[in-house]
Amino acid sequence: MDPWLIYGGTFDPVHLGHLAIARSGRDALGATVRLMPAADPPHRAPPGASALHRARMLDIAVDGEPGMEVDRRELERDGRSWSVDTLRGLRGQLGGQRPVVLLLGADSFLGLPGWKEWQALFGLAHFMVAERPGAGLDGALPEALRAASAGRWVDSVEALRASPAGRVLRLDQPLHPHSASAIRRAIVQGGHWEAQVPPGVAAYIRRHRLYGAEAEPASRATPGASSQQV
Ligand SMILES: Nc1ncnc2c1ncn2[C@@H]1O[C@H](COP(=O)(O)OP(=O)(O)OP(=O)(O)O)[C@@H](O)[C@H]1O
Ligand SMILES: O=C(O)c1ccc[n+]([C@@H]2O[C@H](COP(=O)([O-])O)[C@@H](O)[C@H]2O)c1
């Protein structure tokens, strides 16, 4: 059965690192990747942009990307966006046999023991983990996670296809330096940030003055150019 690949995040804002690992996950698994913005993300400060803006930026980012979709299921229910609730809902929709793969960064995976009902997650989905600068997997697992993931590590996507849940795969991909908090900081401080997000997302951030961004200076606007209005 074709795996269901889901990539949850705050995406505040979506950046090129997100898109790169979404593409890697999609290509490795040969499955559509569904980027799922959290409405009310647990374990972090409230996002700088509303869920509506974050989802629209994702729409812009995936536009024209084959095999990439935005999944709004966490925006369509009330309350905090606990992953265990999301995955149980997904299981209700897909049944128990279809492989479900949760794509996430290594920093998120290392924090798994802090997630709601985290041990139950292994019964609901596989994990595909993307390392990032400062968050590798070698020797870094907290003891509870090391114990819970022992015997679950696999080294090929075929093993993810072969069962519904419970395996962990390190995604083979180059490291990407981008981070949403660094981008938000650069916007506030007047630093360079636009090249770290897709051009349409940069335009959207300026148009809506998100994160304290200034509207694009008139001198840089191209007369007659039609930027995509979303
Ligand atoms: N450059 C990256 N490489 C690998 N994984 C990443 C990268 N950026 C984000 N991720 C992962 O994508 C998921 C969603 O990330 P999130 O939306 O929180 O962005 P972020 O850049 O980590 O944001 P922040 O800097 O605000 O924490 C998380 O699992 C995170 O670990
Ligand atoms: O369910 C939880 O307890 C939980 C705790 C922390 C993070 N998550 C999920 O992990 C994904 C990445 O989170 P973040 O904060 O790095 O954007 C996103 O889908 C969150 O909802 C989920």
Q: Is the pLDDT of residue 225 over 80?
A: no
Q: Mutation test of ligand 2: which of 10, 58, 74 has the most ligand atoms closer than 8 Å to its C-beta?
A: 10
Domain boundary at 171, 199, 220, which? 171
143 CA from centroid of ligand 1 (Å): 23
Give the pLDDT confidence score for residue 12 in this predicted structure.
97
Q: Is the pLDDT of residue 44 over 90?
A: no
Residues 115, 109: Cα–Cα separation, whole Å: 10
Say yes or no: CB of residue 19 within 6 Å of ligand 1. no
Closest ligand to residue 103's CA:
1
Closest ligand to residue 170's CA:
1
Give the pLDDT confidence score for residue 42 in this predicted structure.
75
Query: pLDDT tens digit string along 78-130?
Result: 889 999 999 999 999 999 999 999 999 999 999 999 999 999 999 999 999 99
Say yes or no: CB of residue 181 within 6 Å of ligand 1. yes
Exposed, middle or buried, 122 (CB in 10 Å: 0-12/13-18/19+)?
middle
Domain boundary at 153, 171, 189, which? 171
Are residue 119 and residue 208 in the same domain, yes or no? no
Say yes or no: CB of residue 88 within 6 Å of ligand 2. no
Give the pLDDT confidence score for residue 112 in this predicted structure.
97
Q: ipTM > 0.85?
A: yes
Q: Is the pLDDT of residue 220 over 70?
A: no
20 CA from centroid of ligand 1 (Å): 11
225 CA from centroid of ligand 1 (Å): 33
pTM of model > 0.90? yes
Residues 108, 131: Cα–Cα separation, whole Å: 10
Give the pLDDT confidence score for residue 174 in this predicted structure.
94
Domain boundary at 149, 171, 193, which? 171
Query: pLDDT tens digit string along 125-161?
Result: 999 999 999 898 987 799 999 999 999 999 999 999 9
Query: pLDDT tens digit string along 159-169?
Result: 999 999 999 99
Residue 13 CA, chain-centre distance (Å), reads 11
Closest ligand to residue 107's CA:
1
Are residue 105 and residue 212 in the same domain, yes or no? no
Task: Name the closest-CA residue to atom 18, ligand 2.
Answer: 9
Give the pLDDT confidence score for residue 91 in this predicted structure.
98
Are residue 167 and residue 187 in the same domain, yes or no? no
Give the pLDDT confidence score for residue 50 in this predicted structure.
95
- Tell me what percent of the residues of the chain surpass a pLDDT of 90: 85
Residue 29: which region, alpha, beta or left (left: phi > 0; alpha: psi -120 to 50)? alpha
Task: Name the closest-CA residue to atom 11, ligand 1.
Answer: 105
- Tell me what percent of the residues of the chain surpass a pLDDT of 70: 93
Are residue 211 and residue 137 in the same domain, yes or no? no
Give the pLDDT confidence score for residue 222 in this predicted structure.
53
Segments forming the whole domain that contains residue 221: 180-228
Q: Give the nearest ligand 1 atom to 175 CA.
A: 3
Q: Give the nearest ligand 2 atom to 12 CA.
A: 17
Query: pLDDT tens digit string along 61-84?
Result: 999 999 999 999 999 998 899 999
b/e per residue, 17-54, with b = 16+ CB within 10 A?
bbbbbbbbbbebbebbbbbbbbbbbeeeeebbbebebb
User: Could you tell me where the beta strands, DSSP code E, fall in the chain?
Assistant: 4-9, 33-37, 68-70, 100-105, 126-130, 153-154, 168-170
Q: Is the pLDDT of residue 227 over 50?
A: no
Are residue 19 and residue 101 in the same domain, yes or no? yes
Split into its structural domains, the chain has a count of 2
Are residue 26 and residue 109 in the same domain, yes or no? yes
Crossing angle for the helix pair 199-207 and 51-62, nearest 10 degrees? 150
Average pLDDT of the chain, as a whole number: 93
41 CA from centroid of ligand 2 (Å): 6
Give the pLDDT confidence score for residue 216 in this predicted structure.
67
User: pLDDT tier at 41 (50, 70, 90 boundaries)?
Assistant: confident
Are residue 151 and residue 199 in the same domain, yes or no? no
Are residue 130 and residue 217 in the same domain, yes or no? no
Closest ligand to residue 128's CA:
1
12 CA from centroid of ligand 1 (Å): 9
